[in-house]
Amino acid sequence: MSGKVKIKTVIDGKEVFVEIGAGEVIVFPENVPHEFWALEQTVDLDVHVLVREDWLSKELPDYFKKSK
């Protein structure tokens, strides 16, 4: 939606890094590992087909807590 992120994923058994900016979309098939880091102030839309059990808890997951 705004900003820029760096994404790490695995394609054909190799780690791949991609930068995605505002207005771009990336789709991960089921069970494909991936991580991302905001490279600047960022607002993203993260859509999951299946329910994320870690998002149902009232406790905020560590990876959502703001780092210093």
Asked whether residue 3 carries a pLDDT value surpassing 90, the answer given is yes
* Average pLDDT estimate for 8-36: 91
Please report the pLDDT score of residue 61 as a whole number.
72
Q: Model-level pTM greater than 0.85?
A: no
Amino acid at 68: K
Q: What is the mean pLDDT of the chain?
A: 86
Beta-carbon contacts of 14 under 8 Å, excluding residues fewer than 6 positions away, are none
